[in-house]
Every structure is written in structure tokens, then in C-alpha cells.
């Protein structure tokens, strides 16, 4: 019994496969549209392209009775096919004109509707098809497909018709995509076609755009008013930043409401508006999410870090750098998510997916060449965020300028110079140039100052005063590292170098200037003879030595007069020249 059962099962499966293999390229029918009469000669139905082109030509001429021959009315009683078919053809024409931008030239021109792919990358290339999708429309969240099927009666040539399943869904589609109530008031002379649109559409679209533009402007000012009313703080900052995206979202919703309940345009305009609305809505939502992240980051920055400079602890500056990296990751995820959502909503992959896959390598090369600089900056910014050779708030010397790292973005770095200017540097340029990071380990900095003094200067007194003045500065730390030594000498001067450790570079620069000014004032007031000079002696009186030199010179002159000796320079006037 088991053997017999298996034998009969095998025979049945083979018979089933044989039945299916008999009609791999069409559906077999006993008769087609028996209630419509003879098919007009103008009705070409051998390929999907011919069928839709004939249907559009008939409906453009309002010849709906002949257009009904391009529908498979198998589910309609033959006695009603004549009247019901013309009505369904008229409704389908309105649905196709408004629901989806349909171009007959994009449909297969082969009788078997096989996919032609010269590249050979499509696994279905060359395989005949007996039904194809013409349009995919949504009605209250439900998907309805308008499909073409290939049918054969007996030994006649197979023809392409709108499938019965699609014909049965025409009333529901017409209810959604049919003419709006406003169109019933439009004069017939304005309903004539002018190019891709009708005359009344060319007149209504500018008014339509002005109306939604006014709604967007009003929304923007309303959000700005709310931002001014709110108490100052992060909520005000957030409300002030989302004016534009909120306006775009309101415009998108308002436009969709007008298209659903007030006016409906041709598929060319409707498809364009639909794609723009989806993109604008997704962009607005993504921008608001990004502004929310920025506001949260601003709150965390103010609470944890405060003013961006290198006086803050290294851990806090590293945290802020990580927050900026997180912001870029969120932006990347938002852009990818929005792009995928937009492409999914406009069903780009369904109509162009195979073409995109076939040319993916070419597009990748073109994008790589065109966006090499942008992609290089993005990758470099991620490298900086991960390796952290610089952090937000670090003090760097870049191309001879003192700057604080104020922000690391996707394609550029923002630097704040000491005089409050902002330097915008591309990331790749920044990473390709050597720089000095004064905050890489700690903010402490060893500074030095040089004084050029006369050979007669007392270094012990200079050192004592330097230590005194340096210890008076609050930012000078580690006093045991204060040093003052002679580091150079010439025939008439010596170089004295003083070293001091400061808490941070900017405060160290100020401390260095203060100590230098105090030492200069001390030498000027107390020991002016310590300044270096070139002296030509034309008298025994050296003005640089003061009263002590004058008394010594007088004593020498008295001693010379008593011995009766004369001085060759006694007749020279007192004075000195430098």
C-alpha cells in the first residue's frame, strides 16, 4: 500500500508540474469579455506597452467603450460588461492619471514581458512573465495593485489585459484618487490638457504653493513667539532652534490635507508633491531630533564643563569630545534612517532597484571621486574623536596661533583664538599639519624670560628679586622649580634667564609679562647702571655710576694737583656719551 501510495503521489505531482509547464507564459481562458462585442482595430494588446498606450489613447479621447476591451471583465456579468466596463475604464483612467505617474514607455515592449539585462546581473533576466505590476496604490493604509496579465483563448494569440483582481479594486481606488469636489466647479474649457498638466492645474498650482507658503511663514512666527514667551533657559533655546523644521512639518501636513480633501492634481504633480512632502517631513523630524540632542548636549556642557578652555579637568574635556563624537554618530544614523524611509515611501527600490544594483559599481566610483574630500573629512573627524590627539577645550598652537579647540564637526574643526576670533579649518588639513598641543598631558607650562644686563650687574640681587616677584603671582606654582641663571655673555653684556612653572599657558604668559615688568622697574629705579651700553670715556666722570663716581673722580683730581702732575684730559668737559 505504501508503494502504491508513493507511486500515485509521484504521478500526481508529475501531472501537476506538467499542467503548470504547459502555460508558463500566460493564463488560459475559455473566453474574454463576451459581453463587449468585437475588439476595435485600434486596440493593441500584444505587449504591456501596447495595452497601456492604447488604453491611455482611448481614455484621452473619452472613448471608454473601446477602452473597456483592455480590461479583463471576467468577474462582471456578460450582460453588464458593456455599460459597467465603460464606467470602470473611465474610473481607472482617473486613478492612473492622479494616483501614480505612469509612463507607457517604461513598460516592457516584448510580448513575453521578459526582463532585458545586458549586464547579466539580474538572475531573472530572459525569463518570461505572465503578469506585471502597473501601479501600487494605498487606500486607508491598505495596498492595492493594478496589474497586467497575459491571457490566451484556445489557439489565439495571447493578449495583455488589466487583471480581474485589479478591476474589482477600481471603485475603491476611484473613491480615493478620483476628482475632488472642487473640480466639479471648474469650467470644461479649463479641463483641456496643456502639456503634462491641464490648464486649470497650471493656474491652481501657483495659488496652491502661495497658500502653503503663507501657512509655513505663519507657523514659523508662531514658534518664534512661543520661544520669546517661554522663560529663558534651555527650553527657550530649543524652541528658538526648531522654528524652521516645525514650519516645514506643518506645511507638509497641511499640503497632504489639501491633496486628500480639497484638490487633486494629475499624477505628475501629485507624485512630485508626494516625494517632496515625504522628504520634508522626514527632514523636519530628523532636524528636531538633532536639535533636541544639541540642547541636551548644551545642558550637559554647561553643567559638567562650563566655558570651553583648558582650565577644566582633562576628564571633563574628554567627555565633551565624546559628546561631540556621539552627536556626529546621531547625525549619521538620522541621515541614513531618513534616506531609507524616504526611499521606502516613494518605492524607489521597487521601480529602479534592479537598475541601481546593475550600476552600483559605477555609482560607487563616481561618488568616491566626487566626494573624496568630504568623505576624507568625515573619516578624519571620526579618527580624531576616537584617538583623541586633541580634545574639546585643548589649547593648541596651530600655524603660529594660540587657539582653543571649540568644536570638532564632520568636515571642519572650529578653533577660538586668544583674541576671540574663530578659525574654521578642514579636518584633513588640520590633521596633515604639525601642531603643538599645550594641554595633551596637563595644563601646566614651564615658561622662561630673558634679560640682557651689563657685565657689572649683581646676579644674586636679580635672582632674589625674581624669586620675590614670581612668588607673588597666583598662577606660578611649584616654587622649588624657580630658577635664575646667566645663560650667555658678550664683550659688554650678559644674558640672564629666569624659569617659572605656571598652572596654565595663558595665565603663564600673563605671569611672565608681570615678572618682567617688575624686574625692569626695579633695575630702572635702583640700578640703572646694570643696563647694557657702549661707553666712550671722555672724562673721569661716568654718569652711569652716579654720585659715587663723582666723589671718586674729585678725590683723584685733588691728589693729582698736590703732586703737581697734569692730566691730559683735564681740559675736557665733564660728561659722558653713550
Long-range contacts of 424-432 (CB under 8 A, 24+ apart): 425/398, 426/373, 426/377, 427/376, 427/377, 427/378, 427/380, 427/381, 427/384, 428/373, 428/376, 428/377, 428/380, 430/380, 430/398, 431/380, 431/383, 431/384
Q: What is the pLDDT of residue 471?
A: 92
Residues 125 and 83: their CA atoms lie apart, in Å, by 41
HEC-encoded secondary structure of 457-507: CCHHHHHHHHHHHHHCCCCEECHHHCEEEEEEECCCEEEEEEEEEECCHHH
- 3-state class (DSSP) for residue 446: strand
User: Do 401 and 423 contact (CB within 8 A), yes or no?
Assistant: yes
Residues 388 and 382: their CA atoms lie apart, in Å, by 9
- Which is it for strands 401-408 and 483-489: parallel, antiparallel or unpaired? unpaired
User: Do 230 and 239 contact (CB within 8 A), yes or no?
Assistant: yes
Q: What is the pLDDT of residue 7?
A: 47
Q: Is domain 445-527 in CATH 3.30.70.100, yes or no?
A: yes
Partners of 504 in beta bridges: none
- CA gyration radius for the chain? 45
Domain boundaries, the chain: 27-115+127-178, 197-306+319-350, 362-441, 445-527
User: Do 447 and 506 contact (CB within 8 A), yes or no?
Assistant: no
On the 0-12 / 13-18 / 19+ scale of CB atoms within 10 A, 555 is: exposed
Say how far residue 414 (Cα) sits from the centre of its chain.
Answer: 16
User: Do 223 and 214 contact (CB within 8 A), yes or no?
Assistant: no
Q: What angle (nearest 5°) sits at the alpha carbon of residue 454, between those of residues 452 and 459?
A: 80
Task: Mark the ranges of the chain whose per-residue pLDDT is less than 50.
Answer: 3-21, 348-360, 558-578
Q: What is the pLDDT of residue 138?
A: 78
Give the three cell numbers for residue 366: 563616481
Residue 270 has a CB neighbour count (10 Å cut-off) of 18
DSSP string, 239-299: HHHSHHHHHHHHHHHHHHHHHHHT----HHHHHHHHHHHHHHHHHHHHHHHHHHHHHHHHH
Question: Which of these, 285, 380, 290, 371, lies nearest to 326 by C-alpha position?
Answer: 290
572: which DSSP letter?
S
Q: What is the pLDDT of residue 461?
A: 93
Q: What is the pLDDT of residue 562?
A: 44
Residues 108 and 164: their CA atoms lie apart, in Å, by 21
Question: pLDDT tens, 130-162?
Answer: 888 888 887 877 888 889 999 999 888 899 999
Partners of 193 in beta bridges: 198
User: Do 197 and 106 contact (CB within 8 A), yes or no?
Assistant: no
Give whole-number Cα distances, 372 to 251, 365, 366, 376, in Å: 36, 10, 10, 6
Q: Please give the CATH number for the structural domain made up of 362-441.
A: 2.30.30.60
Question: pLDDT tens, 524-568?
Answer: 999 999 988 776 556 556 555 556 555 555 555 544 444 444 444
Q: What is the pLDDT of residue 494?
A: 93
Q: What is the pLDDT of residue 382?
A: 67
On the 0-12 / 13-18 / 19+ scale of CB atoms within 10 A, 289 is: middle
Q: What is the pLDDT of residue 442?
A: 65
Long-range contacts of 485-489 (CB under 8 A, 24+ apart): 485/459, 486/459, 487/450, 489/455
Residues 371 and 334: their CA atoms lie apart, in Å, by 20
39: which DSSP letter?
P
Q: Give the largest Cα separation in the chain, rounded.
A: 162
Q: What is the pLDDT of residue 306?
A: 52
Q: What is the pLDDT of residue 365?
A: 56
pTM here?
0.50
Amino acid at each position: 500500500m505504501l508503494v502504491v501510495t508513493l507511486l500515485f503521489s509521484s504521478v500526481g505531482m508529475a501531472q501537476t508540474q506538467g499542467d503548470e509547464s504547459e502555460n508558463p507564459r500566460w493564463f488560459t481562458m475559455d473566453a474574454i469579455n463576451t459581453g463587449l462585442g468585437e475588439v476595435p482595430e485600434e486596440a493593441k494588446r500584444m505587449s504591456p506597452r501596447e495595452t497601456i498606450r492604447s488604453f491611455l489613447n482611448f481614455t484621452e479621447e473619452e472613448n471608454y467603450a473601446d477602452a473597456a476591451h483592455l480590461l479583463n471583465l471576467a468577474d462582471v456579468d456578460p450582460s453588464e460588461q458593456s455599460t459597467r466596463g465603460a464606467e470602470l475604464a473611465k474610473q481607472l483612467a482617473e486613478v492612473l492619471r492622479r494616483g501614480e505617474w505612469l509612463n507607457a514607455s517604461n513598460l516592457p515592449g516584448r510580448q513575453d514581458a521578459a526582463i532585458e539585462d545586458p549586464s547579466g546581473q539580474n538572475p531573472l533576466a530572459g525569463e518570461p512573465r505572465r503578469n506585471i505590476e502597473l501601479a501600487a496604490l494605498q487606500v486607508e493604509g491598505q495596498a492595492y495593485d493594478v496589474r497586467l496579465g497575459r491571457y490566451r483563448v484556445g489557439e489565439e494569440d495571447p493578449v495583455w489585459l488589466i487583471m480581474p483582481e485589479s478591476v474589482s479594486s477600481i471603485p475603491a481606488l476611484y473613491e480615493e484618487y478620483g476628482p475632488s469636489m472642487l473640480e466639479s466647479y471648474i469650467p470644461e474649457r479649463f479641463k483641456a490638457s496643456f502639456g503634462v498638466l491641464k490648464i486649470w492645474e497650471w493656474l491652481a498650482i501657483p495659488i496652491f504653493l502661495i497658500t502653503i507658503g503663507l501657512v509655513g511663514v505663519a507657523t514659523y512666527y508662531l514658534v518664534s513667539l512661543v520661544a520669546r514667551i517661554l522663560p529663558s533657559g534651555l527650553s527657550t533655546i530649543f524652541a528658538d532652534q526648531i522654528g524652521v523644521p516645525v514650519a516645514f512639518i506643518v506645511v507638509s501636513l497641511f499640503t497632504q490635507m489639501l491633496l486628500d480633501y480639497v484638490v487633486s492634481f494629475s499624477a505628475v504633480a501629485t507624485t512630485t508633491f508626494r516625494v517632496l512632502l515625504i522628504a520634508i517631513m522626514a527632514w523636519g523630524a530628523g532636524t528636531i531630533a538633532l536639535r533636541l540632542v544639541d540642547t541636551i548636549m548644551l545642558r550637559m556642557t554647561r553643567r559638567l564643563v562650563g566655558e570651553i578652555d583648558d582650565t577644566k579637568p582633562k576628564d571633563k574635556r574628554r567627555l565633551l569630545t565624546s559628546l561631540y563624537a556621539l552627536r556626529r554618530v546621531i547625525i549619521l544614523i538620522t541621515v541614513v534612517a531618513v534616506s531609507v524611509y524616504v526611499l521606502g515611501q516613494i518605492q524607489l527600490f521597487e521601480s529602479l532597484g534592479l537598475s541601481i544594483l546593475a550600476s552600483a559599481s559605477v555609482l560607487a566610483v563616481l561618488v568616491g571621486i566626487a566626494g573624496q574630500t568630504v568623505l576624507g573629512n568625515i573619516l578624519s573627524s571620526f579618527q580624531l574623536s576616537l584617538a583623541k590627539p586633541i580634545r574639546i577645550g585643548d589649547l593648541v598652537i596651530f600655524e603660529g596661533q594660540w587657539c582653543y579647540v571649540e568644536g570638532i564637526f564632520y568636515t571642519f574643526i572650529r578653533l577660538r583664538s586668544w583674541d576671540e576670533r574663530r578659525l574654521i579649518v578642514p579636518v584633513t588639513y588640520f590633521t596633515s599639519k604639525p601642531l603643538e598641543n599645550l594641554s595633551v598631558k596637563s595644563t601646566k607650562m614651564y615658561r622662561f624670560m630673558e634679560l640682557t644686563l651689563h657685565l657689572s650687574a649683581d646676579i644674586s640681587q636679580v635672582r632674589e628679586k625674581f624669586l620675590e616677584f614670581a612668588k607673588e603671582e597666583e598662577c606660578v606654582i611649584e616654587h622649588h622649580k624657580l630658577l635664575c641663571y646667566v645663560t650667555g655673555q658678550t664683550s659688554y653684556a650678559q644674558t640672564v634667564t629666569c624659569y617659572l612653572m605656571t598652572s596654565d599657558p595663558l595665565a603663564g604668559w600673563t605671569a611672565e609679562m608681570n615678572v618682567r615688568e617688575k624686574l625692569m622697574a626695579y633695575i630702572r629705579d635702583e640700578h640703572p647702571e646694570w643696563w647694557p651700553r657702549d661707553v666712550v670715556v671722555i672724562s673721569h666722570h661716568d654718569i652711569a655710576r652716579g654720585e659715587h663716581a663723582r666723589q671718586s673722580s674729585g678725590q683723584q683730581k685733588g691728589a693729582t694737583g698736590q703732586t703737581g702732575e697734569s692730566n691730559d684730559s683735564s681740559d675736557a668737559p665733564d660728561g659722558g656719551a653713550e
